[in-house]
Structure 1
């Protein structure tokens, strides 16, 4: 993995994020030297979802109402069925993702995370992957969907599910190290 010293990465999540899809990539980013900040519409702590049960908690670093795209070098969107469904109802969260995509900075999304990219109108013309159940949603929004463990399209990194986490995290670190696209 490359070095991310001096890079600041935002993770956007709320209650119901898939535990492994936040903690795994977060650990990989931090081990590579990145300064990782958890952004959420919730304050205090948010709770993970694991195997149909509420799980670990994590501290929120920045309220979405105070988050500025210019403060970050990259964005990571974990999945979970609950997490993106709740986030896409938050106008500030959707705007944050849309604004991030417009900068050309790296954006990584796994599993159901690409639902936020759909909501932000940011997938048309992109080649992506995701959890199989949102394949049609991505296609209907204008993306080309591929069943592959990790897909990179001009700084947009996507993966299908937790079994792809190693490849996802490695490619995410590599793309963030490269910088804007």
Structure 2
């Protein structure tokens, strides 16, 4: 399965990109780095610059129907930049419209809030997003990982880098079921 990993040009938490990416590769999936601009993205270790990664596809030049699923890595700045980009928000919303699985970790649900896809769903995130998720009609829970099967697709969410093991196991299980 081709899996879109959507990030802004900078601000993604590196471990929240690289750990799920490697897990997808190890499971036989094809991860694709999608961003709002061509070139490279700048990852971070918290507030410190980390590595750069080449963008493979650009939002607006690709579409959700090119992928079997979507992973939204966190970092504080990454989803904040994404939710201000209409094409990125539309790209995310299209995965829900098409019934494709989505996985989001840490601050990434901010992009889901902007895409107006959390209403009626139960999800988790970094604790500071609790009010935003509730105001958008979602139910926030403080759990390592939450799989929500609502409507025509599944949403996997997780709180933070410490939860990456549970996150990758859950999203790989859901994405593999969808691929079958």
Q: Which residue of 2 aligns with 1:153?
A: 148
Q: Which has the higher strand share?
A: 2
Q: Find the residue that maps to 2:51 and give its secondary structure.
A: strand
The answer for the alignment partner of 2:3 in structure 1 is 9
Match of 2:72 among 74, 77, 86: 77
* SS of equivalent to 1:66: coil
Q: Secondary structure of the equivalent of 1:179?
A: helix
Q: Deviations over 1:78-121 (max 9, x none)?
A: 01001001111110000000111112211000000001100000
Paired position in structure 2 for 1:29? 24
| Equivalent position of 1:164 in the other structure | 163
Segments of 4+ moved more than 2 angstroms = none
Runs (5+) with no aligned partner, structure 1: 1-6
Task: Provide TM-score, normalisation by structure 1.
Answer: 0.94
Partner of 2:133: 138
Shift of 1:52: 1.5
Distance 1:58 1:119 in 2: 25
Counterpart check, 1:40 vs 2:39 = no
- Once residues 25 and 91 of structure 1 are traced to their aligned partners in structure 2, the CA distance between those partners, rounded to angstroms, is 25
CA RMSD for the aligned pairs? 0.9
Aligned residue number for residue 98 of structure 2? 103
Tell me the secondary structure at the aligned position of residue 60 of structure 2: helix
